[in-house]
Amino acid sequence: MCGLLGLVCGSEDDAANARDAVGRALRCQRHRGPDETDTWANGEIVYGFNRLAIIDLEHSHQPLTWGPEENPTRYTINFNGEIYNYLELREELAKEHGAKFATEGDTEAIVAAYHYLGTAAVGRLRGMFAFLIWDSERKVLFGARDPFGIKPLYYASGPNGVAFASEKKSLLELTDTLGIAQELDRTALQHYLTLQYVPEPESLHQNIRRIESGTSFTVSPGGELKIERYFSPEFRAQPVSSPYGVATLHEKIAEVLRDSVAKHMRADVTVGSFLSGGIDSTAIAALAKEHNPNLITFTTGFEREGYSEVDVAAESAAAIGVKHVVRTVSAEEMMDTLPLIVWYLDDPVADPALVPLWFIAREARKYVKVVLSGEGSDELFGGYTIYREPLSLAPFEKVPGRVRKLIGKASTLIPEGTRGKDLLRRGALSLEERYYGNARLFRDDQLRPILRTFRDGIGHRDVTAPWYELSRGWDPVARMQHVDLFTWLRGDILVKADKVTMANSLELRVPFLDAEVFRVASTIPLDQKITKETTKFALRRALDGIVPAHVLNRRKLGFPVPIRHWLRAEMYDWARGIISDSKTDDLLDKRAILAMLQEHRDGTLDHSRRLWALLVFMLWHGIFVEHRIKPEVPEPQYPVKL
């Protein structure tokens, strides 16, 4: 787990001149790899690397050069992530192709697989990754990002070259070197305020984009970047016709999860686990305990009643038999730390849960270097409550289209906040129109008075339409899961998981987001995912006997944050100050936003999530555009407690 940086120049002289700039840009992501740092140049390529040593601590230094006997320095790789099947892959490459290795790590396995298998090697990697491989013989850079987008990879193209980095802030340091401007992307801003995150491949800077999950790419010096998709997930349910078949399905789920956790435990450092009060993290912790009897788990919460799973997590930890660490977060800590967290994020993510996650990651780093977590379970196994919406809206499907439109118009006459208004509004819409993920922040009618740069015709369907098109003929829940894999999961869930843990030099691993786990999960029939009573039905049955009974059928809560209450009290003056100080008048109507804040304080309407999105953006703008806010970035933290 590390931070990589790579620059492909048009000439060797350009590369030599850019090496110092790459070294400076590398410092912006030192938190991702404080154990080692290095730069490397060869021909038209310049690499920079920060290493967080997890496997083969004494070797596997990067950038790493490897090649066959006839040309042992042919390839040089820059790699961020972990390959969990690297032992099996190394053995296969040695046996079938005679590959030789100088280290005991997973990095050599990637580059050797590329040499012997070509671009198809990407499909053989079981893990999380973003990597660059320079082929000095062919003068081609090949790279890829993992299937689900666990590890980030940004890129920027300019007249002076193409650059790639694990963090966007490093590319912002290279804009002069590349010959590009730092311009705000106003379309991406409108998407952010609709979705609560910036969707891939966009970023809030026009000239910086992201390599999408499940894609690989090639670029030659002076040539164009060519990107291809190698992973296209499909949810193709396999009907289960008998109780015996159902039991077999549940056994397969338990078996593949146990195998995934076992492989995710591979490390030469201590591995811990996050633990909330839900089934996902509890299952991961329980299975991890089978491999590490001294497992430590970590949770966070708030003192306010109803916004903490600390007690449930503690009960789970006791039932599993693990040491448990709790970190409680106050409103004051959130206010003080949010600007720093936004700096780490690179682009705004308006998910309040990332703040307590930052604090528990910082606490966990005192004990361990790697943590397991339960991200991805909901998308793969049907865990979100909203996935049950097709059941509740089924009666609307029987209503003629003309009548449904009338119902939609009638819903606009109902006062905002009235119970049932949103049900009627959504029932009048098709799945493609109404579902674009879990966040659903500003609707167009709410955003138009706030965003001065609002443009009609820009909306969530720009983001979701391609993924709906690929899922035609699937059941509605499978289509929602498919959309979430390409939007909510990689735009919100995995961004905050990567950014706030790596901010604390902590590697986070997600065993649910495993190729073999997906292979099984993608076949689960609808009635084994969603019922009228529960979500993730098959997963819950599979985990019976693995997770404690008090968690098995418990409603998902996660790390909820009481911003609705705090923005009316402890955070009101703080929020008002951020809005007043922000230099975003050309983008936002600050008087309308202050009116929203007052309405929220008075209890007229609950604007908490929309206000939070605006506050996070204003902090981001103050840091990356105005350069008025300069968070004090701490030195990387190392374990102090055993």
* Residues with active-site annotation: 2
* Helical H segments across 236-393, by residue range: 243-264, 279-289, 310-320, 331-345, 354-364, 377-381, 389-392
Task: Mark the binding-site residues for ATP, compressed into ranges.
Answer: 373-374
Q: Where are the beta strands (DSSP E) in 319-455?
A: 323-328, 370-372
Query: Taking the mean position of all CA atoms in its chain, how far away is CA 304?
Result: 28
Phi and psi dihedrals of 154, rounded to 5?
Answer: -95, 155
CA-nearest of 105, 120, 48, 45 to 75 is 45
- Read off the tokens for 21: 């700039």
Q: Rounded to whole angstroms, how far apart are CA atoms 599 and 332?
A: 23
Q: What is the CB-side half-sphere exposure of residue 309 using CA atoms within 13 A? A: 25
CA-nearest of 107, 188, 112 to 462 is 188
| Inter-axis angle of helices 331-345 and 494-502, nearest 10 | 100
- Read off the tokens for 126: 């079981």
Alpha-carbon distances of 428 from 245, 402, 433, 537, rounded to whole Å = 38, 10, 10, 28
Q: Rounded to whole angstroms, how far apart are CA atoms 161 and 220?
A: 10
CA-nearest of 574, 618, 576, 570 to 597 is 576
- For residues 371 and 506, is the Cβ–Cβ distance under 8 A? yes
**Count of other CB atoms within 10 angstroms of residue 236:** 8
Query: Taking the mean position of all CA atoms in its chain, how far away is CA 209?
Result: 16
545 sits in the region (left: phi over 0; alpha: psi -120 to 50; else beta) called left
- Read off the tokens for 590: 């600050």
* Beta-strand relationship, 161-165 and 507-509: unpaired
**Count of other CB atoms within 10 angstroms of residue 579:** 20
Task: Mark the binding-site residues for L-glutamine, compressed into ranges.
Answer: 106
